[in-house]
Amino acid sequence: MDFETRPLPAGPDTTFTASEIRRAVQDLLGLDGLPPIVQVGHPVLRQRAAPYDGQLEDTELAQLIERMRDVMHAAPGVGLAAPQLGIPLQLAVLEDRFDVDPVASEIRQRTPLGFFAILNPGYEPEGTSTASFYEGCLSMRGFQAVVTRHRDVRLHYQRPDGSAASGGFSGWQARIVQHETDHLHGGLYLDRGELRSLANDGEYSAHWAYPGIDEARRGLGFLNP
């Protein structure tokens, strides 16, 4: 099934200054334990994060990326954006090493994704093919909804060392790229989601935890052909 992807509403630009962002990062790095993940309703999740242009020292940036990786692993998740820790910077980390049922992996085109960090990312579709699957978010715990996304995208971003990079991603990797990049522009997956598909984790596990969405589509009445 191919459907048009929903447009992402534009979030307001962050009002934080460079010095305020750096102070927030220093406070986060000074915590004894892992910081909590900001939940939906916090304004930072709805702001367009500030482009990274050297607000942090190289060591601070490296430490922030490592801390974000630790939080992502502990959650656990396959991606984490800086705004999810209350930091309005266009920075995200991605990694997918989870063992997934082979049938689900094939249907969802889910393959391992090695760890990497992206700064100031943007993506564009490659082709017109889309894919619709259930998706969740660490900043909206306890719920999932079906989201239609581009099946293939090209990601343009900056590496932590300042160099420019570009790469193509397909299947579930493309979904992760789109999800995390959307976070940096004030977007959440529900902005693109099919609201009739929304399910809490318990009901999803009881009724709709299939590799694809056909059962949920028929049972909940969304994305009718």
Give the containing element (helix H, strand E) for 19: helix 18-29
Pairing, β 113-125 against β 130-136? unpaired
Cβ contacts of residue 120 below 8 Å, gap of 6+? 51, 52, 90, 157, 158
Contact call for residues 176 and 92 (beta carbons, < 8 A): no
Catalytic residue among 95, 135, 180, 194: 180
Contact call for residues 44 and 83 (beta carbons, < 8 A): yes
Active site residue 180: yes
Query: For residue 76, is the peptide bond before it cis, meaning its omega torsion is within 30 degrees of 0?
Result: yes
Distance of alpha carbon 78 from the chain centroid: 8
Q: Which residues are designated catalytic?
A: 180
